[in-house]
């Protein structure tokens, strides 16, 4: 399998920087949280993942948990499995069916409810791709070329040729979001440039073809409040680095992975992300699982050292994940349910995309 890291996986620098300086996007996210609490019905959320492997704790606390929380608050939810996007940096999508099923299982286990939320794949919704052509006409090559996430992915792809899809997938992603008129997109920092492309396309489409009406909303990014977790080797948790604890991993495997986790030589355990990133990430992980602060966990361990810290984290993770893992196993055995979830999600997404495409064609005067 090609394990080329993606931008989201390679951003090892200053993983905790977000925690200190709130950016404009974070400030906006705080405002959005307030609006969602007051009136969840005005939001339609769309977000998703590339099917490249099982989701891990970094995904869970970074986005998955947040999606389920928003769904449960009453926000209409779409989750896209971006199977075409896998082809940006590899020629063939190995074991795609297995990866897609793994994602569905991770979603279901984490609490995405297919009765309320639509889980679907890119490739099953042709009208979504048809939106991409008019959208491509609304952005310049220069704009596509300076997208920092795409640049980063190209730099890390270690490939001699860069495909056209690599430059255009952010426009494809705009279609992912706009086909259902999504206005809320929970994502990580690395996706903000893509959100900007989506907003630009929505605005330009409305200006050019809307005739005074708003055909597409300008969606907002919603950043998760949880800072990113480090993997067991002290770099960003990522499936391609083999330093991740997946949702599907068993309790024993989790214990083994955490036992080998990197710490530092200072015995007294303190929470200081700047000077002690590895120890602090472990504290944060325990804290997220136990719904308390990392400082509290640190105080409790005190001078008992790294072994005690690892024991605490292992227990916290295994206890927290136990019901999620049990559900995952149950769903994995029910193949019919798994297939029905995707089939029905795809049908719902297709119906919505067809309606939007008809509207777009009418706006563009291409109704023949
Ligand atoms: N680019 C996202 C990732 O790599 C996946 C994705 C595809 C996505 N389409 C999306 C995320 C639409 C949010 C909205 O993780």
Q: Which residues pair with 21 in a beta bridge?
A: none
pLDDT tens per residue across span 103-158 = 999 999 999 999 999 999 999 999 999 999 999 999 999 999 999 999 999 998 87
How many C-beta neighbours within 10 Å does residue 367 have?
8
pLDDT confidence bin for 21, thresholds 50/70/90? low
User: Of 188 and 275, which is predicted with more confidence?
Assistant: 275
pLDDT score of 91: 72
> Exposed/middle/buried for 190, CB within 10 Å: 0-12, 13-18, 19+?
middle
pLDDT tens per residue across span 285-298 = 999 999 999 999 99
Q: Residue 7 above 70 pLDDT? A: no
> Exposed/middle/buried for 162, CB within 10 Å: 0-12, 13-18, 19+?
middle
Q: Where are the alpha helices (DSSP H) in the chain?
A: 7-10, 24-38, 57-59, 65-73, 96-110, 126-130, 132-136, 141-145, 148-157, 164-178, 192-209, 251-259, 277-290, 294-301, 305-333, 335-363
Phi, psi of 33 (to 5 degrees): -55, -40
Whose alpha carbon is nearest atom 5 of ligand 1? 49
Ligand 1 proximity of 198 Cβ (cutoff 6 Å): no
Locate the ligand 1 atom nearest the alpha carbon of residue 186 and give its number: 13
Q: Residue 221 to residues 77, 195, 198, 352: CA-CA distances in angstroms?
A: 14, 7, 10, 22
Ligand 1 proximity of 47 Cβ (cutoff 6 Å): yes
pLDDT score of 188: 85
Ligand 1 center to residue 174 CA distance, Å? 9
Q: Please tell me the distance from the alpha carbon of residue 281 to that of residue 291, in angstroms, as a whole number.
A: 15
pLDDT tens per residue across span 324-359 = 999 999 999 999 999 999 999 999 999 999 999 999
Whose alpha carbon is nearest atom 7 of ligand 1? 82
pLDDT score of 159: 80
**Three-state DSSP class for 129?**
helix
Per-residue pLDDT, averaged over 238-247, amounts to: 89
Q: Residue 183 above 90 pLDDT? A: yes
User: Of 2 and 179, which is predicted with more confidence?
Assistant: 179
pLDDT tens per residue across span 48-91 = 999 999 999 999 998 899 999 999 999 999 999 999 999 888 77
Ligand 1 proximity of 152 Cβ (cutoff 6 Å): no
């Amino acid at each position: 399998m090609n394990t080329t890291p993606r931008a989201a996986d390679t951003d090892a620098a200053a993983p905790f920087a977000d925690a200190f300086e709130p950016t404009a996007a974070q400030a906006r996210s705080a405002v959005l949280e307030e609006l969602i609490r007051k009136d969840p019905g005005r939001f339609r959320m769309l977000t998703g993942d590339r099917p490249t492997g099982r989701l891990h704790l970094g995904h869970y606390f970074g986005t998955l948990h947040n999606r389920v929380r928003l769904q449960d608050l009453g926000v209409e939810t779409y989750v896209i499995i971006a199977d075409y996007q896998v082809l940006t940096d590899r020629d063939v999508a190995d074991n795609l069916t297995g990866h897609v099923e793994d994602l569905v299982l991770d979603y279901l286990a984490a609490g995405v409810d297919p009765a309320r939320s639509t889980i679907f794949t890119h490739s099953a919704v042709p009208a979504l791709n048809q939106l991409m052509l008019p959208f491509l006409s609304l952005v310049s090559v220069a704009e596509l070329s300076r997208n920092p996430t795409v640049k980063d992915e190209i730099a890390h792809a270690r490939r001699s040729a860069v495909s056209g899809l690599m430059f255009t997938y952010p426009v494809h992603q705009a279609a992912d979001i706009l086909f259902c008129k999504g206005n809320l997109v929970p994502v990580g920092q690395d996706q903000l440039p893509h959100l900007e492309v989506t907003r630009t396309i929505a605005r330009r489409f409305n200006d050019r073809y809307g005739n005074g009406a708003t055909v597409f909303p300008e969606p907002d990014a919603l950043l998760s409040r949880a800072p990113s977790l480090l993997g067991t080797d002290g770099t960003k948790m990522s499936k391609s680095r083999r330093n991740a604890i997946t949702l599907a991993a068993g309790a024993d495997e989790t214990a083994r992975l955490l036992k080998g986790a990197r710490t530092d030589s200072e015995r007294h355990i303190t929470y200081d992300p700047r000077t002690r990133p590895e120890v602090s990430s472990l504290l944060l992980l325990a804290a997220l699982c136990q719904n308390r602060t990392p400082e509290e966990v640190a105080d409790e361990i005190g001078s008992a050292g790294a072994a005690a810290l690892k024991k605490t984290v292992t227990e916290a993770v295994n206890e927290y994940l136990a019901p999620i893992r049990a559900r995952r196993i149950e769903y994995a055995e029910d193949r019919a349910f798994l297939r029905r979830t995707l089939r029905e999600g795809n049908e719902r997404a297709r119906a919505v995309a067809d309606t939007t495409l008809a509207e777009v064609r009418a706006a563009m005067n291409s109704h023949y």
